[in-house]
Amino acid sequence: MRVLMVEDATDLAETVSARLAKVGIACDLALSITDAEDHLAVQRYDALVLDINLPDGSGTELLRTLRAGGDRTPVLMLTALVSVDSRVDALDLGADDYLVKPFDQRELEARLRALVRREATQKSDTIRLGPLAYAPSQKSATLSDTRLTLTPREAALLEILMRFPDQYLSKERLYDGLFAFNDADVGLNAIELYIARLRKRLAGSSVRIETQRGVGYRITDDG
């Protein structure tokens, strides 16, 4: 999962970004509406975390612009404004969820997972494919009831693949889901490394990851 956080409180934004990275969620940061527009012009995101009060305007105006342009990226409004009117206005403009500061990091992560789950083919809290099961909230997987040892990025990659079973996902799509702009030193070929690691974890089972040259990767079950 890759998210864009639009928040001008630098300390908060960097703290949230660092914690998201630890659970395998890539997070880019924008400190203003202008910064956010620059990011959105070149990058696709699974979700946006959008503050309302920003230095160059209101986050609701950015939300209005996105929805008017047909952009349906899930948006979680994050703000210190607690009035019902503020929440209603944001939701009426097309926000998908709302979280008031201060907040618990675990709740933010859970809400982001819920937003992304709505867009995926597999929508349940536990994703299953034959003998393979993955729990997004725990970032854990079991194969024939035996727990797999996964790094955060391996878990994130497995989740993306399992959300879209039997569908080929491009290397670029997978890369975008794993790495933020501040991971610029990581090349696209890193996906091949993580795919190889996952294949080793799945070896001997009916679940496999297939490659179609020029198209991408998909996870499937032969059982």
Residue pLDDT, tens place only, 25-42: 889 999 999 999 999 998
Torsion angles phi and psi, residue 7, rounded to 5: -155, 125
Instruction: Report the pLDDT value the prediction gives residue 93, as an integer from 0 to 100.
Output: 82
Instruction: Say which CATH architecture domain 127-221 belongs to.
Output: Orthogonal Bundle (1.10)
pLDDT band at 88 (very low <50, low <70, confident <90, very high): confident
Q: Do domains 2-119 and 127-221 have the same CATH topology?
A: no
**pTM score, whole prediction:** 0.67
Instruction: Report the pLDDT value the prediction gives residue 122, as an integer from 0 to 100.
Output: 52
Residue pLDDT, tens place only, 108-156: 999 998 888 776 655 556 889 999 999 887 888 999 999 999 998 899 8
Residue pLDDT, tens place only, 51-75: 988 999 989 899 999 999 989 899 9
Residue pLDDT, tens place only, 182-214: 676 788 889 999 999 999 999 999 999 999 999
The angle that helices 59-68 and 33-42 make with each other, rounded to 10 degrees, is 30
H or E element, residue 28: strand 26-30
**Does domain 2-119 match CATH 3.40.47.10?**
no
Longest dimension (CA), the chain: 56
Q: What is the DSSP string of 87-152?
A: HHHHHHHT--EEEESS--HHHHHHHHHHHHHHHSS--SSSEEETTEEEETTTTEEEETTEEE---H
- Give the helix, strand, coil percentages of the chain, each rounded to 5: 40, 25, 35
Break the chain into its structural domains and give their ranges: 2-119, 127-221
